[in-house]
Amino acid sequence: MFKLSKLLKKTRSIFDNLFSIERDYFTIGGFKKDLSFFFKKRNIFHHFIDRIKFQYYPKLLMSSSFPTHLEVEAASKCQMRCPMCYTTYMKDHFKGIMKMDLYKKIIDEAADNNTYSIKLSWRGEPLLNPNLVEMIKYAKKKGIKDVAFLTNAELLNDKKSKELIESGLDWISISADGTDEIYNKIRFPAKFNETIEKIKTFKKIRDEKKQTKPLIRVQSILTALENNSSKFYKSWEGIVDKINVISDHIRDYETDTKKIEYNEMFLCPKPFQRLTIGHDGKVHQCINDYDGKNILGNVLSQSIKEVWDGEQNRKLRNSFKNHTFLKENVSCNYCSYAFAQEKSSLTKIVEGLNLKIKRYKSAHKVVDNGKVLETPESLIPLNKIEEYRKMLKKENSN
């Protein structure tokens, strides 16, 4: 009976890997909204081909001759201290800003090898990089078809909005968890209503220029919506082009891995799709290898192609092919994507709009019964709070 149960579990995992695109991520409005966003991106033929490579090559254990997507970290520091973010706990020596000469080296090779997309964000806040607008312009000039970044939007102002809209940016994603006090506590010192107004202004400037790009996406973690999902949807509908919900990921980075329930048959698509390049040129195993437990190479001294085809990356891919990834890659043990999943409790947003999303069994909730379990201020020692506020004020004035 035990063997049969294990076999059924493995079969279900394989089925999920083969036939599901996203399990922890959902667009409110479903397929219709996703399709609208797809067409608004334009480059429809190229985007369609890219999606095949990006979504389906990994399922067939295939990879392109060069990464179709690059995570290029414009900045690895952030002015916020969100409780669910690794950057809040990250040691200072990991924090920095990518230099323009390194960035151009990356983009030149990517463009020569037809990389479809780059995302200029990872561990930090891209708007802290003073060259961000120039970086976007350079990538677009070189022919990268899809250039985007994620931001908390706290440093966004009218001038920066205008520059970004004129830069050729394809889309921008606003991380905005929950509404009102939930948002204010998680995203301290930002205020929910102020963030809404900033994005309204961003959209207004874009529309006045008669542009459809950059497209605007907003996303929240699941537990921040459980008490007020309807208000979240209604607050953003009509302002942004897409509203997403993502499962809460692991936030206790010292978790005892013996207490985690894993999906041992998980097939991670990332080694077959992309590379994650830190601000200092180090190529990390993936976006969840925050502190560089598995460095695949360094594009300061190597080409992207050398890293992509290198021994470390081949070992990484093989560990998923052989289902030995948990033993061979330390970072995988602290990655929510490898956790077993279950259906979430939140199914209805507003009338006629349902949410189909799974949550990770072993990931702690950030918000429980309407209460934020940890707030940024609680994560900072009492004798450091004033210093932190001064730092925020300084960075916000730049």
pLDDT for 36 equals 79
Which portions of the chain are predicted below pLDDT 50? none
The structure tokens listed for 177 are 């968890």
Return d(Cα 284, Cα 277) in angstroms, integer.
6
Give CA torsion, residues 228, 229, 233, 236, to 10 deg. Answer: 50
User: Where does the chain hold its CATH 3.20.20.70 domain(s)?
Assistant: 21-338
pLDDT for 40 equals 77
User: Looking up tokens 């059924």, which residue turns up?
Assistant: 8
The structure tokens listed for 360 are 């990770």
Render 89-102 in DSSP notation, one character per residue: T--GGG--B--HHH
pTM over the 0.85 mark: yes
pLDDT digits (tens, 9 = 90+) for 265-307: 888 999 999 999 999 999 999 998 988 999 999 999 999 999 9
**Sign for the pseudo-dihedral over CA of 21, 170, 224, 33:** negative
pLDDT for 74 equals 97
Q: Which residues contact 74 (CB under 8 A, 6 or more apart)?
A: 97, 98, 103, 120, 121, 124, 126, 129, 131, 132, 135, 149, 279
Render 92-152 in DSSP notation, one character per residue: GGG--B--HHHHHHHHHHHHHTT--EEE--SSS-GGGSTTHHHHHHHHHHTT-SEEEEEE-
Using CB atoms within 10 Å of the CB of residue 117, give its burial: 0 to 12 exposed, 13 to 18 middle, 19+ buried: buried
pLDDT for 80 equals 86
pLDDT digits (tens, 9 = 90+) for 334-382: 888 888 888 877 777 777 787 778 888 888 788 887 788 766 556 555 5
Query: What is 21-338's CATH superfamily?
Result: Aldolase class I (3.20.20.70)
pLDDT for 362 equals 81
